[in-house]
Amino acid sequence: MTNTTINNQAFLAACRREKTPYTPVWLMRQAGRYMEEYRKLRAQYGFLELCKRPELAAEITLTPVERLGVDAAILFADILLILEPMGVGLEYAAGDGPVIHRPVRSAVDVDRLKEFKVDKELSFVIETVKKARASLGGKVPLIGFAGAPFTLASYLIEGGSSRNYVHTKQLFCSDPSAWIRLMQRLSSAVAAYLNAQIAAGAQAVQLFDSWAGCLSPGDYEQFVLPHTRSTIAAITSGVPVIHFSTGTSGLLKSIRAAGGDVIGVDWRVNLDEAWQQVGYDVAIQGNLDPVALFASPKEIRSRVADVLRRASDRPGHIFNLGHGILPETPVENVVAMVEAVHELSAR
């Protein structure tokens, strides 16, 4: 950072809608393939192996804090790790992304999912949280995370990424009782997982509902909202919860109704309009287009200024991208963005 000294409480204060000396910033996928340090590790280890080796996962978690000057670290893990103990055959296939070899397509499949204990089956994640928190030494807070029940259910049902979510929508329309059982099971597992991260040292958590944007408002309210709400309600009291989704500019009031201390929004909606929709009684996170980081530093600075202007200096804004950093992003542009946020928002 150039003109602003990191305040180790700025991020948590913004989550509580308190005044901060500047707008805090962190980035989704801030530990990822755009960084040379990460690429070197990936050349030696598979993705799943990195996740399961706490000393390496903690190292990856910390690297962006030093390199970028961000105001929070986010745990290096993956939203689908919680699905592996359920016995569905999770694999991270090279070039194809995650694959579920035994998709959940019926009530029988739902009932076949294995029960598991988070502290045993996902102990490597908990250990990573402990190591990362200790290594940070209070410099900045540590964010834990999990996939939201709907996004996890979609992966389970589709067997991987999807464009139209045919199998997912078919299940909740044709067998609502099986859908409810699946979502209740996922909701309980996600809450237990996040609470275990919190107990290990995570100071805030983010719930990723990355695929909720495929839903109509009515389907979201009927088939998703109650389960997201129950998940958030079961998270340890007093720990800020960021509720993030993409493609949901038409669902923001329902997203807000599902809960969260901070509502994360993507770049497809103006920040001021989004905040007005969700209400000023919650904080907001976002929302620069990740592709803007391929522009010149001058253009990046201009776009950062526009997002900050829309926040109107109101307490409770956390600067972020509207989704994760893309792998090809020049790291120097990410640094320029972080510096611009701190400089332009200094109070």
Residue the block writes with tokens 């950093």 = 325
Q: Does the N-terminal peptide bond of residue 287 adopt cis geometry, omega within 30 degrees of 0?
A: yes
Q: Is 268 labeled as catalytic in the residue annotation?
A: no
CB 163 within 8 A of CB 212: no
Pick from 157, 209, 206: which is nearest to 178 by CA?
157
Q: Is 33 labeled as catalytic in the residue annotation?
A: yes
Q: What residues form DSSP beta bridges with 262?
A: 242, 283
Sequential DSSP letters for 164-182: S-HHHHHHHHH-HHHHHHH
Q: Of the listed 16, 33, 53, 181, which one is catalytic?
A: 33
Cα 82 from chain centroid (whole Å): 14
Q: Is 303 labeled as catalytic in the residue annotation?
A: no
Q: Of the listed 17, 29, 133, 303, which one is catalytic?
A: 29
Q: Of the listed 78, 209, 261, 266, which one is catalytic?
A: 78
Q: Is 45 labeled as catalytic in the residue annotation?
A: no
How do 262-264 and 283-285 pair as beta strands? parallel
Q: Of the listed 16, 42, 181, 229, which one is catalytic?
A: 42
Q: Sort 218 into a burial class: Cβ within 10 Å, 0-12 / 13-18 / 19+.
A: exposed
Q: Is 78 labeled as catalytic in the residue annotation?
A: yes
Q: Of the listed 22, 34, 38, 155, which one is catalytic?
A: 155
The catalytic residues are: 29, 33, 42, 78, 155
